[in-house]
A = this chain, B = another copy of it.
Amino acid sequence: MAGGTVSFRYFVLGLLAQRSMSGYDIKRFLKSLSWLIGSPSFGSLYPALHALLKDELVTVKVAPRKGKPPRKIYSITETGRQTLKEWMNQPLTPRAPLKAFAMRLILADNFSYAGLIAHLQQRRDQVAAHHAALEQTTKGGHGKAPLGHHLALDYGSALAIAELAWLDSTLNRLSQSSQQPLPIEVVQSDSTVPTV
């Protein structure tokens, strides 16, 4: 429950903090980046929405459309924003899957500027640690390991290096708020507080 739980429920809450949506809208959005975080089924999406509603973190507004089945538009509440903030500020456990990091990355707008930097930095540290562990394992099993182990270690290493490179370049880009080579907008710090 506590700690860096993946908690799909809170991720959905975070999406609703960006804009009010129906369950179907959320599904469609998740499908577009399913590679990063997977695309959960309705069987887990709708119950998640119902749970958020029960805890009063979101509200619903039924929007009937002549003839068609009505859409249920979910919106985040103030309590919801507060809860989301608390969840976002919990550090991820060292062995949290890539998915957990990606989820928070998508919700980056809910971070303060410093929070986002800290989050990326934390991930950098963890990936570096994992990478070091892989290198260690590679050196440990000298020659006698089966082909598959070599391949997996090499694969993991390549991905870790690529992720580190991305994290470094992104941290760099964010630190220098002077120019943005990529189509990145002005960094927002909070929904209410102006900026640093």
Contacts and interface: CB of A to CB of B under 8 A. Distances in A.
A63 interface: no
Interface in A129-163: 130, 133-134, 137, 143, 146-156, 158-163
Given A35-B134, A38-B97, A170 B146 contact: no
A27 to B, nearest CB: 14
A32 interface: yes
Contacts of A188: 147
A183 interface: yes
A74 to B, nearest CB: 18
B146 A18 contact: yes
Contacts of A154: 166, 170, 182
A102 B146 contact: no
A109 B188 CA distance: 50
A105 B166 contact: no
Copies in the complex: 2
Nearest to A98: B98
Contacts of A162: 158-159, 161-163
A62 interface: no
Nearest to A156: B36
A145 B92 CA distance: 25
A105 B137 contact: no
Contact of A151 (B133, B150, B170): B170
A3 B188 CA distance: 44
Contacts of A152: 33, 36, 102, 105-106, 108
Nearest to A19: B146
**Closest 5 A-B residue pairs measured CB to CB?**
A162-B162, A108-B148, A35-B130, A158-B166, A106-B152
Interface of A: 18, 32-36, 38-39, 95, 97-98, 102, 105-110, 130, 133-134, 137, 143, 146-156, 158-163, 165-166, 170, 182-185, 187-188
